Structure 1
Amino acid sequence: MQTVATTSTRRLTSENPEPPQQRQQPQTAREVIAANIKSLIEQLEAGHSDALTAYLTAMSRFHNYSFGNILEIARQKPDATQVAGFWKWKEVGRSVKKGEKGIRIIAPIVGVRRKKDTEADKDVTKQNTAVLVGFRSAHVFDVSQTEGAELPELREMSGDVGENRDRLLSFIEQQGIELVFTEKIAPALGMSYGGRIAILPGQSKAEEFATLVHEVAHEMLHKAERRTATTKTVRETEAEAIAFVIAKAIGLDTGTASADYIQLYHGNASLLAESLEVVQQTSAVILAALKPPTAEQAAMPDAELAQVA
């Protein structure tokens, strides 16, 4: 069973014994939080990871669709997650599977309006102007309709969450937050609505735990008056920093997952440093909720234990 306290994991050998008085003592929650925040700041200061760089390069090749076309894609293929045209998939090393039916969208037709020679002579930088001529039907395909080279993915968290998942779920319930699991939020992994959290089912236990902590952090920090004083970048940086701190504290392999996520929202080490106080305080509250009950608390009747809590 995992706990929120961490100790030194370096093994002792007969060739390199460590005197008893020099053995590292279990860290306090405050020390764990400080060490994990420092680790995340160092990752952010190091810049983009190789995984994030590859992901951003791949994503830059994909077109951003209009709201109308997004609705059309969702209507025709509700489970679509990443769409592109036939030749765009070729550019990233994938091919549309034989027999797949395209998703119809509306594409603009852009023409060129040439200026008169007399006007062009006055301003050589504006000789021709792109103009919208009309629209045409086009077809795109979801990644599930293609095959070939794997698209770069961001690093995910891994490891065993143990009983910490159940304790986190209890904490969420105690906060009066409704929790639902639904496919409707795809491709988002989690959403926070103020008193309600939605989680995408099918995630690994480690990734689901980190997503839950991220959304709980939003509920605790960004669903009240404080939201008006923050930006999207600040909110995502704070929530993911807390998810990193908690995930690392219970022993999950976090890698660069949180740093990559923060940098996707244009967060950085300086921004995180400005939010240290709220990140530390919120992390402490969640860590306390994950702490295993003492033997005395475990022996108490539920009603009496509720009064103590």
Structure 2
Amino acid sequence: MTANAIDSKKPTTKQELIAANVKLLIEQLEAGHSEALTDYLTAMSRFHNYSFGNVLEIARQMPTATRVAGFWAWKNLGRSVNAGAKGIRILAPIVGVRRKKAVEAEKDITKQNERVLVDFRNAYVFDISQTNGVDLPSMHEVSGDPGENIERLAAFIKGQGIQLVYNPKIAPALGMSYGGRIAILPGQTKAEEFSTLVHETAHEMLHKAERRTATTKTARETEAEAVAFVVGKAVGLVNGTASADYIQLYHGNASLLAESLEVIQQTASVILGGLEPAVASEETPQQQEEDPELQEAA
């Protein structure tokens, strides 16, 4: 089913809407990586995964750093380090080759030499904020206007006994779920903020206590983002392939989503129910008693 098919069919109930949006997400996952995700993964493969020690060094020297790479790595990505930029010092390994003894080498001719760590040397990397040039590829983002649904969602979260805070220190994460507490990165667009809130709320509802230990990271992220996709689409946000890209970034797929279909649908239904405005009666019971027509109809 395509997006146009969903629009033309006009699901009439909440459950039909959830089912239609889940089916759309499954089809996006079955279609494979979007072009945006492929470009993003290609660019990210150019960056190193730094050791814990180097991560601490980077954070100590530049707490605001988000994406770092060496001088030539930035060149290969189409960006140049700004003149006068101060590099962030890290330790880079020096790897040498140790030849095996002749007797050992004869046992396995393919493993005559062995790579060994010899020492460390100083190396320098630069944050993206210290560079200029072409923009790095990025994944699609959620857009649209959730309207009053952000306030309704915040009220729903608090009604579940979950604390909601906005904390810039969680960057580069957009949101974090701590079990009874959700932290959101301030400064997001309204659409992104709403989607992030739903994602973290799904974590709170699905991935605590026993179920957390019974599921994998991939399954948990697939479920939370699927709920965010379904709820976001239901309130009119434009998701495109943003959720499918996110799920695939965590190695999730349509098969894994299908295995969690029931909990995704149930959780989305509960959250959507929490977003429904309270229906207030236009007349008080006393007014109804005083109205002869209403009394006669009763």
TM-score, length-scaled by structure 2: 0.90
One of 99, 102, 113 as aligned partner of 2:87:
102
The reply on whether 1:241 has 2:221 as its aligned counterpart is no
Aligned equivalents of 1:84, 1:234: Cα separation in 2: 31
The reply on whether 1:142 has 2:101 as its aligned counterpart is no
Aligned residue number for residue 123 of structure 1: 108
Change (3 A) 1:276 1:298: farther
The runs of at least 4 consecutive aligned structure 1 residues that moved more than 3 Å come to 7-10, 115-122, 297-300
Counterpart secondary structure, 1:251 = coil
The reply on whether 1:184 has 2:172 as its aligned counterpart is no
Aligned residue number for residue 220 of structure 1: 205
1:155, distance to aligned residue in structure 2 (A): 0.5
Aligned equivalents of 1:8, 1:114: Cα separation in 2: 65
One of 74, 77, 82 as aligned partner of 2:67:
82
Change (3 A) 1:71 1:298: farther
Aligned residue number for residue 158 of structure 2: 173
Amino acid at match of 2:199: H
Aligned equivalents of 1:80, 1:155: Cα separation in 2: 22
**Stretch of structure 1 that moved more, 24-33 or 149-158:** 24-33
One of 238, 244, 251 as aligned partner of 1:259:
244
Root-mean-square deviation (CA, aligned residues, Å) is: 1.9
Equivalent positions of 1:1-309 (< 5 A) are 27-116=12-101, 119-296=104-281
1:61, distance to aligned residue in structure 2 (A): 1.0
Change (3 A) 1:48 1:26: closer
Aligned equivalents of 2:175, 2:160: Cα separation in 1: 18
Change (3 A) 1:204 1:118: same
Amino acid at match of 2:134: A
Counterpart secondary structure, 1:296 = coil
1:173, distance to aligned residue in structure 2 (A): 1.1
Aligned equivalents of 1:210, 1:40: Cα separation in 2: 15
1:8, distance to aligned residue in structure 2 (A): 7.7
1:293, distance to aligned residue in structure 2 (A): 2.1
Amino acid at match of 2:62: K
Aligned equivalents of 2:31, 2:190: Cα separation in 1: 28
Counterpart secondary structure, 1:155 = coil
Aligned residue number for residue 14 of structure 1: none
Task: Select the structure with the greater relative contact order (CA < 8 A; seq sep ≥ 6).
Answer: 1
Q: What's the CA shift string for 1:49-89, capped at 9, x where partnerless?
A: 00110111111111000001001111111111100111111
1:223, distance to aligned residue in structure 2 (A): 1.5
Alignment gaps of 5+ in structure 2: 286-298
1:47, distance to aligned residue in structure 2 (A): 0.5
Change (3 A) 1:170 1:297: farther
Number of positions where the alignment pairs a residue of Structure 1 with one of Structure 2: 281
Aligned equivalents of 2:24, 2:84: Cα separation in 1: 49
Aligned equivalents of 2:237, 2:209: Cα separation in 1: 30
1:118, distance to aligned residue in structure 2 (A): 5.6
Aligned equivalents of 2:283, 2:147: Cα separation in 1: 18
TM-score, length-scaled by structure 1: 0.87
Aligned equivalents of 1:42, 1:298: Cα separation in 2: 47
Aligned equivalents of 1:86, 1:99: Cα separation in 2: 13
Aligned equivalents of 1:25, 1:140: Cα separation in 2: 53
Aligned residue number for residue 306 of structure 1: none
